[in-house]
Amino acid sequence: MSAFDEIGRRGDAAGPKTLALLRRLGAQVTRSSSYPPPEGYDSWCDEAVDDLLADMFVKNPARGRVFVLACFVKATGQASLERLLLATIGNFLKDQAKSTERGKLRRRLDTILGEDGRFVRPPISKTVQAWALSDGPAALWQGDIDQLHRAAARVRGYQILTWNTAGKTPAKNITAISAVSYVVIDDADGSVRDEDLARVIETRFVLISPPVFIELPDGRFTEPDGLDHGRDDEDLADPALIAEDSTAEAEVAERARGIWSTLSVQERALLPCLGASIAVRCTVTGLGRATAQALTDSLVERLRMATVDDDERDAVVLMLAQMGGGAQ
């Protein structure tokens, strides 16, 4: 009997076949990823995988049952059930990574804004943490977060080209984060929850970019590029590639450099070829068709988010493409 048949007969995820399948798939996803193992483990050993599955299915049985049964309902057989469960486990890891990194950003905002007299903690409730302007209204903002993303995108002249995950925040980064936070909260005309503000700052400066995992034809998961996404200054494009004949061009160049510094080697190679055939994109990235297409989709979305509401969007994207062509 397969796990698919077992779930159909039992109506739950507690059968031995299902549990064995979850352990096997959990090991498959974690050991082909760069996500760190749970606290207390140096690697994704069997015990670490069991801890992950416990977080997903045991600590919250109702949620675990929904996860598995939702996959079962969509599946047409054992093979498709495994693919759906692989995607579910991969998405859970991705959400955990985002939550962890955003939590670090929230704590950094605590320090940066807490030391800036323009920001205050309004007395909303014991369960809600938010930031307001010292001379602004304290009522909790409850609008569409896209409004805040657009407000952040309108703040020009600030980029974060290097981001340290630990230690003291550089003065330039503090200035940039404070300036954007001020405009965002002012635009909200009230106090903004910590989580919402962190999400907006994260997107505005592309600070958190966890690996995007792609399901390969054989069911494995891999990162789109498998390369280090470090942002060393030496990785930036040659300034000679960028024309700075006017103030407007210089501002466009600054924004293009900021985005460029967050891209991997393969993303930079892909930039000038986004509209090319899949064969060309496979050649320039050295990836297979499925992975190259996934990387393309991911890069297009990143560019869209990085240039949202930018009056010079086309100029920024064009300059990025030129930089990519010069870097090949």
Q: How far apart are CA 61 and CA 256, in angstroms?
A: 47
Question: 142 exposed, middle or buried (CB, 10 Å; 0-12, 13-18, 19+)?
Answer: exposed
The pLDDT tens digits for 124-139 are 766 678 999 999 998 9
Domain ranges of the chain: 3-101, 116-205, 230-327
Q: Decide if pLDDT at 242 tops 60.
A: no
- Span 222-236, mean pLDDT? 39
What pLDDT does 155 receive? 87
In three-state secondary structure terms, 126 is coil
CA distances, 27 to each of 11, 48, 78, 86, 97 (Å): 24, 9, 18, 10, 17
Predicted TM-score (pTM) of this structure: 0.45
**Contact status, residue 160 vs residue 207, Cβ threshold 8 Å:** yes
Q: How far apart are CA 264 and CA 232, in angstroms?
A: 11
What pLDDT does 246 receive? 53
Residue matched to tokens 């297009």: 300
Compute how many other C-beta atoms are within 10 angstroms of the C-beta atom of residue 186.
Answer: 16
Torsion of CA 222, 12, 72, 35, to 10 degrees: -10
Q: Decide if pLDDT at 216 tops 60.
A: no
**Contact status, residue 169 vs residue 214, Cβ threshold 8 Å:** no
